[in-house]
Amino acid sequence: MTNIQIILNAILSKNIFEYLLIDRELKVCHTSTGAHQYMEYALQKGDDIFMHMPEFLGSEDMLKEVFETKDFCYTFKTVQKNNYYMDVSLEYYNHDSALILLQNITKITEVQQKLLQHSNEATLLYRALQKIVDAQNALLFVTNSADEIEFANQSFLYYFHAENLDEIKEKSPKLYLHASRNIKSYNELHAYSEGREIDLTIGNDTFIMQSTAIEETHRLFTLSKVTDMYERTKSLEAEIEVDALTGVYRKKYFDLKLEQLLKEKDHFALIVVDIDNFKAINDNYGHTVGDEVLKEFSSLLRENIRQGDLVARWGGEEFLLTLKMDDFQKAMDRIEILRKTIAQHAFKHIRHLTASFGVSWREQCNCDDANSLLQRADEALYQAKNKGRNRVIAKEFEKRGNQCT
Amino acid sequence: MIRKKILLIGDFHVGKTSLIRRYVDHAFDDTYLTTIGVKISRKKLLLDHKEYELLIWDLEGATPQKSIPKTYYRGASGAVFVGDVSRLETIRNLDAHIAAFKEVNPDSVHVIAHNKADLLQLDQTNRFQNLENTFLTSAKEDINVDKIFTTLAKEIFHD
């Protein structure tokens, strides 16, 4: 008995290894007692090896080589035969025989199979979720406790011109810097925005951003691009709220803005402007020229107010203005400049015209409402007209008892 | 009798085992049981009144963590490359599987199975290539299963 047989017998007793010996004609010449259990057909001496071990079909060159090379060894890993899993090794035995060793690995392979099954199912689930997340038009990203971006969807990668997540991690975009407040991290952005939507402007794009906590450590940020929607809304607003002839706001829109201004509790002047002797322009030059004058006059008003101030057409030749100023006298100076600008302007058809200005001043925390402000400005305009036109008159607020503080 | 080795190759969970089961045992089971290692099935077939035997190797599918060991490819006369029409990445990966297989068996022949066609609506089937060696298949509905194996077998045995 050769050494290899002694070793084999010792191993075989543990029911882990079985073997077949084959001759140069590739016929079975000897088998261990338990080898038959792995075979599809009854195992007999003289059988063609391919009948029992089809694994070797296509490996005829190896089957020749094994008889000639003493250190030859080739293994088919994890072969399923008759509900067993085994590693099948082909080894040199002697010049006339080759050894086919069958190592039963069923138990460990069944455990591996279960793990692989779980792993594959998890991969399928992960990929399905990934596809769902990538299909979102919104930009999604997740940050970790170190305030780094740990995950981003395809829309996010595409927007920031990144091929993959690693590139994003390298670029490390600091979107919190685009928030209107002085925010210095994603964690701060999350704390600021949690539970509500905030606007975020990146370049020319406006996003609505939401943030959600994922466990204690991670934050999910969702950015929905609304630039187009904002522009459409603005365009629609303009169509609805703007006076078709002059291009300035209508009174209805002015009223809304005036209410907002009153809530802000800032100082501002409300001015009613009326073109002097406009009826004569219509009578002398016709209504077409009258319309042209109204357009030119409106443009002049718009050009001479600041961004944030408001101009609207009340009706006919009467206009409304608001000027935010912290001091009444400064506001009056500014209105006086506007009056002079109009008086000195060379109008296209009629050369010169003048306008009268009635002003009411809104003090901080007083009890003025929109009506009282308009009423006082209108009364002041009436006085300006009576005093000879082409002037600015203001009417102050009258305190009534303890109503105002 | 002439016997030839063919392989089913593709990503995991594309239906390789189900195609073999449908072809060999005329059966189908919806439960997903991942294949580990390799299992060989035999199928006898008659071509021009001659009997042949296909030894069909069902290989463990490729996963992101583990590619298919090339040692299994050795000595194969042909292969069925299988992708899942409901997971387009498995279709995209077929080119890489074909290249790896052809590296070991440059003279071999192959067919491509775009499997799980039962999941597609009629108008969606047009999106898949209708090339000579490519078939929309379904092990569940038994669509083109015999056809892929006999097409491959004819190419192998007639050569």
- List, in sequence order, every beta strand (DSSP E) within A42-137: 73-81, 84-94, 97-104
* Residue in A18, A91, A292, A317 annotated catalytic: A317
Contact B74 A78 (CB under 8 A): no
Nearest to B37 among A54, A77, A117 (CB): A77
Nearest CA distance, A80 vs chain B (angstrom) = 5
Nearest CA distance, B34 vs chain A (angstrom) = 5
Contact B69 A77 (CB under 8 A): yes
Provide the CATH topology of domain A136-228: Beta-Lactamase (3.30.450)
- Tokens standing for residue A11: 């191993």
Reported ipTM: 0.89
User: In which band, very low, low, confident or very high, does the pLDDT at A287 lie, cut at 50, 70 and 90?
Assistant: very high
Lowest mean pLDDT among A135-139, A296-300, B129-133: B129-133
CB contact, 8 Å: A130 with chain B?
A: no
- Spans of all domains in chain A: 3-104, 136-228, 242-395
Provide the CATH topology of domain A242-395: Alpha-Beta Plaits (3.30.70)
Spatial contact of A53 and A40, defined as CB atoms under 8 Å apart: no
Q: Is residue A55 annotated as part of the catalytic site, yes or no?
A: no
Tell me if domain A3-104 and domain A136-228 are identical in fold: yes
Spatial contact of A258 and A270, defined as CB atoms under 8 Å apart: yes
A329 or B125: which leads in pLDDT: A329
Percentage of chain A surpassing pLDDT 70? 93
pLDDT score, position A260: 82
pLDDT score, position A404: 41
Nearest CA distance, A130 vs chain B (angstrom) = 12
Architecture in CATH for domain B2-158: 3-Layer(aba) Sandwich (3.40)
- What phi and psi values does residue B79 have, to the nearest 5 degrees? -150, 150
pLDDT score, position B86: 93
pLDDT score, position A308: 83
* DSSP at B44: E
- Spans of all domains in chain B: 2-158
CB contact, 8 Å: A55 with chain B?
A: yes
Percentage of chain A surpassing pLDDT 90? 63
Spatial contact of A403 and A369, defined as CB atoms under 8 Å apart: no
Q: Residue B116: pLDDT above 60?
A: yes
Lowest mean pLDDT among A185-194, A330-339, B72-81: A185-194
CB contact, 8 Å: A58 with chain B?
A: yes
Tens digit of each residue's pLDDT (9 = 90 or more) over A361-379: 987 656 778 999 999 999 9
A13 or A221: which leads in pLDDT: A221
B99 or B66: which leads in pLDDT: B99
CA distance B16 to A72: 33
CB contact, 8 Å: A79 with chain B?
A: yes
* DSSP at A26: S
Q: Residue B88: pLDDT above 80?
A: yes
pLDDT score, position A234: 72
pLDDT score, position A364: 64
Q: CATH number of A3-104: 3.40.50.1110, 3.40.50.300, 1.10.357.10, 3.30.450.20?
A: 3.30.450.20
Q: Which chain B positions have a beta carbon within 8 Å of A134's beta carbon?
A: none
Q: What is the mean pLDDT of chain A?
A: 88
Contact A80 B63 (CB under 8 A): no
